[in-house]
Amino acid sequence: MDHASQLIQERSAPPATLVIFGASGDLTRRKLLPAVESLARHERLPDQFALVGVARTPMTNEQFAESALGGRALASKRQLQNGVRYVAGGYDDPQTYKRLVETLDELDAQRGTSGNRLFYLSTPAGAFEPVINGLAGVGLNQPREGSFSRLVIEKPYGRDLVTARELDSVVHSAFDEHQVFRIDHYLGKDTVQNVLALRFANSIFQPIWDRSWVDHVQITVAETLGVGSRGGFYEDAGAMRDIVQNHVLQVLALALMEPPASFEAEGLRNEKVKLLQAIRLPTDRDIAEAAVRGQYTRGGTREELMAGYREEAGVDPLSRTETYAAMRLNVDNWRWAGVPFYVRTGKRLPARLTEVALQFQRPPHLPIPTDQLTGLDADALILRIQPNEGISLRFGAKVPGHSFRVRTATMEFSYDQTFVEESPEAYERLLLDALIGDASLFIRSDEVQQCWRIVDPIIENWKKDNSPIPTYEAASWGPTDADRLIGRNGRKWRNSA
């Protein structure tokens, strides 16, 4: 067997049936079905694979197959043909699950799917409990001997620590923790995983990855778009729940955690949990100085005037929901004690950007006269997760010429220019991992609870605060309070338009 064939075999799914609840929804159409098609096209799915959609919307097998395969690559159509089914019914209707059992048994016999089932909850969070109870009611939570039964759950996983624990209670009443795959699509991005590669595959970075060398760290998740058609959802979520509790804290944990003993799932997740446990919770007295919120107002240009958040469809005209959140976090462990971590996210900012920036200490003594330093910034290592995926190293260098002048230069690594391999979509990678049973990039129960532990006090404090919510113009970098947050110690945000 050649090396390419061996790699395909190593990362290919076993015989299985993927069951998508919420099969008529937007996430299924935009992300999950294209991910299945791409896995089939790249020979990651066996011939003994089947796809079952479950939703309230009436639809025949043929209609769902057309929505799943219509317009897809011919190779994918051939592989998935005759292996697509649809079960229509309410999530709280026992008959739905009886029909599902019949469908799965039929596919086991016809497709050879071996009793392996991956149940994907692509539904609103309110449907999680009835679906889990429905699966348990017909025994689909318990795999046959030698087979697997796994559950993939989309966010939001609760809306605070209390409801996350309540959902855990429902989940664990039917499924063991090793069967549960809580998904955060950010962790499926190659460039997020590259944080691990940069840290643990290179000895040169490890000695400087601590408080002795790092002055502070900035993590930014910036979006240029507003809430669009998601106003109703966003009103109940806000930036802290929608982005910080999951995406931002997951990236922070990967960037700051200790080296794991191995890259096995439990080794990685144990270190992430330890890091999250070490984050110091701000007291009510500290929150005003450690956390900032904001809401975008009308802004932009005359040619492209953008509506304010309160003008968006589905948004309360007197809304106090934050579309921007920034925090200063402290990690109480040996590696990071005393180093501030600044995280921020917002909608309607000037650039779409996700990055982790480590800014290093300035030299203890500069023998070069200040008049020979031309805009010399502190050294920094910037991990760009999106867009323009790559890594930048910022340092001082001599300017060409007869005089000795020093200014900031940058060394660049670009994913696109370095690698010719195609980067899989996040959902494609995560679906394959769930089918294989690799939980490394999924979130464990205690991780979820630690993330809520960090953001809950801030959300609760903001809820009790009746003062006007700070605002910022659309297409600006957020409220002025955010500049004051980082500027108290002479630091500033890495802003670029």
Do residues 199 and 179 share a domain? no
Q: At what angle do helices 94-111 and 128-137 cross, to 10 degrees?
A: 60
DSSP helix/strand/coil, 386: strand
The question of whether 247 is a catalytic residue gets the answer: yes
Where is the binding site for NADP(+), in residues?
Answer: 22-29, 56, 155
Give residue 486's pLDDT band: very low, low, confident or very high (50, 70, 90).
Answer: very high
Do residues 113 and 232 share a domain? no
Compute the distance between CA of residue 149 and CA of residue 115 in angstroms, rounded to an integer: 8
**Rounded average pLDDT over 125-152:** 95
- Paired with 331 in beta bridges are 279
Pick 215 or 65 by higher pLDDT. 215
Do residues 225 and 263 share a domain? yes
> Would 3 be classed as within a structural domain?
no
Final residue of a structural domain among 183, 211, 227: 183
> Would 431 be classed as within a structural domain?
no
Do residues 332 and 393 share a domain? yes
The pLDDT, as a whole number, for residue 258 is: 94
The pLDDT, as a whole number, for residue 285 is: 81
**Rounded average pLDDT over 43-55:** 94
Residue 201: CB partners within 8 Å, gap ≥ 6? none
The pLDDT, as a whole number, for residue 192 is: 87
Residue pLDDT, tens place only, 452-472: 999 999 999 999 988 899 999
Angle CA(492)–CA(329)–CA(320) in degrees, nearest 5?
A: 85
The pLDDT, as a whole number, for residue 414 is: 86
Q: What is the mean pLDDT of the chain?
A: 89
Do residues 243 and 294 share a domain? yes
In this structure, of 106-120, 121-135, 181-195, 264-278, the range with the lowest mean pLDDT score is: 181-195
Do residues 158 and 278 share a domain? no
Do residues 53 and 167 share a domain? yes
Residue pLDDT, tens place only, 290-324: 999 999 999 988 778 999 999 999 999 999 999 99
Whether 326 shows a pLDDT value over 50: the answer reads yes
Give residue 228's pLDDT band: very low, low, confident or very high (50, 70, 90).
Answer: confident
> Would 171 be classed as within a structural domain?
yes
Residue pLDDT, tens place only, 476-485: 999 999 999 9
Whether 105 shows a pLDDT value over 80: the answer reads yes
Whether 407 shows a pLDDT value over 80: the answer reads no
The DSSP element (H or E) to which 356 belongs, if any, is strand 353-360
Compute the distance between CA of residue 473 and CA of residue 307 in angstroms, rounded to an integer: 10
How crowded is residue 14: how many other Cβ atoms within 10 Å of its Cβ?
16
The residue range of the domain holding 89 is 16-183
Where is the binding site for substrate, in residues?
Answer: 185, 189, 223, 242, 347
Do residues 272 and 380 share a domain? yes
The pLDDT, as a whole number, for residue 1 is: 42
Give residue 106's pLDDT band: very low, low, confident or very high (50, 70, 90).
Answer: very high
> Would 287 be classed as within a structural domain?
yes
Whether 88 shows a pLDDT value over 80: the answer reads yes
Whether 368 shows a pLDDT value over 70: the answer reads no
Return the percent helix, strand and coil in the chain, to nearest 5. Answer: 40, 20, 40
Whether 3 shows a pLDDT value over 50: the answer reads no
Final residue of a structural domain among 166, 183, 200: 183
**Rounded average pLDDT over 174-200:** 91
Four-CA torsion 59, 63, 67, 73, nearest 10 degrees: 150
Do residues 155 and 196 share a domain? no
Total number of domains in the chain: 2
Q: If you ran DSSP here, which 8-state letter would residue 213 be given?
A: T
> Would 430 be classed as within a structural domain?
no
Give residue 71's pLDDT band: very low, low, confident or very high (50, 70, 90).
Answer: low
Final residue of a structural domain among 168, 183, 198: 183
Where is the binding site, in residues?
Answer: 22-29, 56, 155, 185, 189, 223, 242, 347
Do residues 149 and 271 share a domain? no
> Would 156 be classed as within a structural domain?
yes
Pick 108 or 9 by higher pLDDT. 108
> Would 48 be classed as within a structural domain?
yes
Do residues 308 and 375 share a domain? yes
Do residues 296 and 251 share a domain? yes
- Paired with 182 in beta bridges are 153, 443
Whether 5 shows a pLDDT value over 80: the answer reads no
User: What is the 3-class SS of 285-334, one letter each residue?
Assistant: HHHHHHEEEEEEECEECCCCEECCHHHCCCCCCCCCCCCEEEEEEEECCC
> Would 352 be classed as within a structural domain?
yes
Four-CA torsion 213, 291, 355, 32, nearest 10 degrees: 140
Candidates 42, 172, 247, 365; catalytic one:
247
